[in-house]
Structures are given as structure tokens and as C-alpha cells.
Amino acid sequence: MQICTYTIAFALITTLVNAQSYVTPALRRSPSCAMLDAGKIHCFGGLAGAGTTGRLDAILYTLDTTKVQSDYATHWEELTDSINSEIFTTYPRTRASVAVTSDKKNMIITGGTFGVISGTPVRNLVYNIDTNSWRALPNFDDGVNGNDRQIYVEATSWVPDQSKVYVFGGTQVKPAYRWYYDNVLNRNLTNVIYAKDDASSKIGYYRMTTLDIAAHAATPWQVPTQQNPPVFSYYMQASVYHPSSKKIFYIGGLVNNATTEEIAATRNVSMSEITTFDTATGAWGTQNFTGELIPSPRKSHTVTLLPSGQDILMYGGTQNDDSYGVADFCYTANLHTFVWTSCNTITLPNNNPPTRTEHAAVLDESKKVVYILFGYQELRSLANTFNTVLAINVTDPKRVNFIDTSRKLFTAAEEPTSAADNKKDNSQTANPSNDDSITVGAAVGGSLGGLLLIGIAAFLVWRKKLTDKKKKLAKQRQEEEAEQLSVDWDAIEGGFTESCPIPINEKDQQYLKPFDPSVLTENKQQPLVMKSESAESTMASLPVPDAVANEVLVPDGGALSELMTKPDVLSRQ
């Protein structure tokens, strides 16, 4: 009987474990998402809801693309058992930046905005999928500018050759000073506060900065040696690391002039002249891009390196926070020929609007699919109803197309099917809500039926064994009576055992006073980046860029262009 009981219990536990509890996350914008190991997408944070009714979300969701191959939007799971989860649930965030290590084991989160809080949140953190745990990363110590700066909308890229995150750009909330000291060129920047928002600074990571996430890194944050650094400040760019050239490409976003040499308002960055950084030499530069159609300027977009390692997919974005998304929402580009190719003609089933803004994008290399996650469809102030997960087949970078996620998707060995090919089948699809009910009912019924069959089989096996045991005992009694053997059954049976935050201080009197570099000498302090005659022995021993170098890094159609429309200044979240 015990065998039967154990078998049924095991079957019941197995059934309960295999029965997934799926949820449908609320619509949201600016979440932090990453494709981690074993085909699992992880997303957390973001601003859930629409317009002013949005709320910061603190739930970590996962979507297993190896098990779920249709109706992605309704098949997420909540991860509620992660270790040290309080470091991100206590202070939910939005507009943070994400990088993923090469082994897809770690999701690295930097920055973000936290809304109105009391206390000191963890600025940077990392989630490890193997240990299902979170770990706080050190703050960026920016010398005299502070070591607890709240920076967001910066661009981050994982550089596998160095096992570091490269961080650049962004903007700061609630700066401690109205100036910023450039530690690389040793000069003051005094035009750093937005004209329409005196509680935000144009300066985030003004110079290229690296982060080593190793648990015991001696100097986790560093400012590497760099040549011809930009004189303007950038934010809301999308970055992508190109392994072949070892360069990071910074695409789109906004640019400001934080110096006093020349007054320039916030501008969109040109899409025909892309800022680059060579991680091998430390050289900043620009790369001209061509094409039959050059993308319109944008921010809040995504750029994804495709499986070829030479092509990128740029998706979505907007020119102003409170305007509709750009009409030309989809482009690919080759990082060898530097040619843009439009994919704006691809359509979703039922002709749903494909535009997205403040979304996330992750790549499934095995399936050659890019997933577009969350974001808003038209205006952020509207409560849109749309698929929160789009899938794009990127097998051929020059002919990308949507995959119909309302049906079961292909396996890794199958050829992707475009949404256009499935339109006819879609017209005959039943009500999705009814399908969900049927699916759930079928799952429950199948589970109970399977459990019943297992129970019956276990009972029959137990009955047969009981009969065999009775026969064996009867034969044994006959032998015992004949041989008069004494067996201590109690002793035999007795030998069997079962193992069943501190608020931000008021600005002091030094708030309006520009930083005086002489205090470094008077107080015997050292700047974060020192100059030296030897470039090899210093972090950043750089000459002041000449006019030609600076001119090269002024984007064409960007900061000095009169053709661009001025976007609204970022509003505080």
C-alpha cells in the first residue's frame, strides 16, 4: 500500500510542478529586459499603466521561449523566490540601462529613476540566473562631482574581450551642484542645468566609463584612456558593440552643450553620422552611414546586434516624449558597409500598429528572432491595448518580417513563418479569451486524467505485488513449519527507516559656486583622472582636443543644425 501511496503522491507532485502558473503583466514602458540562458527572457521594473496614472513596478517576470511558443503576452511567470530581491523591490525603477554577459548568466542593471523616495537605493545591481540571486554593485565615484549620482538613460554595452560594461552618456536627477568638473580635460562645465528643469543635469557619464562586475574587483569603476573625447553631452542613445571592429556604435538620442563656449539647446542626433568608440585604442570618432532612406532622428528606440555579427536592427522610437512614435519604425544596417536598409513596410496581423516607444528588445540567437517587449504604441498618455510581445524573424537582415505570435511558433530547426503568410489562418481564429479558457481547461483536464491513469496503474501493480507476496509468505510458512526456524521479524522491520535611506541633504552654500580645481592642491586631494607624461601609466593623459577634432564630433544635423526640431526636455518621473 505504501508503494501505491508514494506513487500517487509522486505523480501528484509532478503534475503540480509541471502545471505552470502564468500571468499577464500590466502594460508598461521603459522596463529592463534581457535574454538570459536557456531561452528565458527576464524583465523587471518600468512604469506600468498609462500617462500620469502609471506606477513603478517591482516584479521580476520571466518568459520561457522554449516552453511557450504562442500567446506570449499571457504566458509570463513571476519570480518571487530570488535571493536578495529586496535590493530592487524596495526601490522599483524605470529608464534603467541593461547589459548582459557573454554567457547569458548575468543581467546588469545600471541607474534609473526611482520617483519620490526616502532613503538611498542601490544604484547598480546584477541578477545571476544560475543562483537566482541579486547582488548590489558599487556606486560610481565621480571624484568631486560625487559618489552617489542618480544617472539614467545612459547607454551600456558589454565588451566580452574585457569582461566589462562600457557606460556613456545619460542625465542626472537632483544634482548636488550646478557645475560639473571634467576630470579628463581638467575643466569646469557651467552650463549643465536644463533651462526648463532646474532639478536635472545634462551630465551623466560625461566620459567613457567602465564597470567590472567581479565580486572582488579592486577598482570596479574606471575611466579609460580616450582620445578626442566629445565636447557635448549625450543621452537616450542606443548602443551596440561590434565584435569585429571592437567598436561601440552610439545611435540616435539627444545631444546638449554643457560648456560655456557655445550655447546650443537640446537637439536630436543625426542618423547619418554615428558616434563611435574604439574599445581597443580608446579613440572616439564618427562613422558616416548612407542608404536610400536615412532614418529620422529618434530617442527611446532599441538597437540589436543580429546573429550575423555584422548587422543591426533598429526599432521604434519617438522624437518627443509626448508625441507619436516615428513612422519609419524599422531599419537594419550593416556595420561593414554602413548602409541603412528600411524595413518599414512589414506589417502585423490584423494591421495592428507596429510602432513602439520606450520598449525593450532582446535577441534569441538560436531561433534568429528579435523580441520587442512592452513599450507604448502611440501616445504615452493613452491606455493602448496591444500585444506586449512582438517577434521579428531576422534570419535574413535584408528581409526581416513579423512572426505571428498568436499561433505556435517554429522550433529551432524549422523555418520561421511570417505574419503575412498567416493572415488567412488568423481570420479563422477564435476569440483569444475563449482560447485561453479552453487551453487552461484542457491543461487541467489532461493533468487530472493523467493522474487518474497513473493511480489506476499504480493500484494494479500494487495488487499484483500483494498477491505475489501472499503466495511467497504461504510458501515460506510451510518451509518454516518444516524446518522450525526462528526469525525475529520485529528486529528486521525495526531496522528499516524512512527519509521522508537617508533623504538628500539640502543644497549647501557651495551649490551655486563653480568648482575650483585649486582646492585639490590645497586639500592634497587628487582628481579622479591624473595627467602624466606617460599615457601607459595613467588612466587618461589627454591633450585638449583641437578645433578640428571637436568639429568632427559635432553630429551632422545634430547639435548645430537648424533643421532639427527641439524635443521637450525630459520630465522627472
Determine phi and psi for 304, rounding to 5 degrees. -125, 130
298 residue type, one letter: R
pLDDT for position 131: 97
Helix (H) and strand (E) counts in the chain: 7, 35
pLDDT for position 465: 58
Determine phi and psi for 394, rounding to 5 degrees. -115, 25
Domain boundaries, the chain: 2-433
CA distances from residue 3 to 15, 453, 468, 494 in whole angstroms, order as listed: 18, 16, 15, 19
Select from 3.40.50.150, 1.10.230.10, 2.40.50.140, 2.120.10.80 the CATH code of 2-433.
2.120.10.80
Joined grid coordinates for residue 335? 556595420
278 residue type, one letter: D
In the DSSP assignment, the letter for residue 330 is E
Classify residue 172 as exposed, middle or buried by CB count within 10 Å of its CB (0-12, 13-18, 19+): buried
pLDDT for position 523: 41
CA atoms within 13 A on the CB side of 440: 11
Rounded Cα distance, 186 and 516, in Å = 11
pLDDT for position 52: 62
Query: Would you call 114 helix, strand, or coil by DSSP?
Result: coil
pLDDT for position 301: 98
CA distances from residue 568 to 197, 266, 318, 496 in whole angstroms, order as listed: 11, 8, 11, 76
Cα-Cα-Cα-Cα dihedral sign, residues 461, 467, 470, 475:
negative
pLDDT for position 468: 60
Joined grid coordinates for residue 311? 548587422
Helix (H) or strand (E) holding 334, with range, is: strand 330-334
CA distances from residue 313 to 158, 330, 391, 409, 521 in whole angstroms, order as listed: 17, 7, 13, 21, 49
pLDDT for position 214: 96
DSSP string of 82-99, one letter each residue? -BTTHHHHSS--BS-EEE
Residues of the chain with pLDDT under 50: 5, 8, 11-18, 409-449, 451-452, 462, 473-515, 517, 519-573
Contact assessment for residue 394 and residue 368, using Cβ atoms and an 8 Å cutoff? yes
Question: 34 has which bridge partners?
Answer: 42
Residues 6+ apart with CB under 8 A from 2: none
DSSP string of 270-318, one letter each residue? PSSEEEEEETTT-BEEEEE-B-SSPPPP-BS-EEEE-TTSSEEEEE--B
Distance of CA 35 to the CA centre of its chain: 8
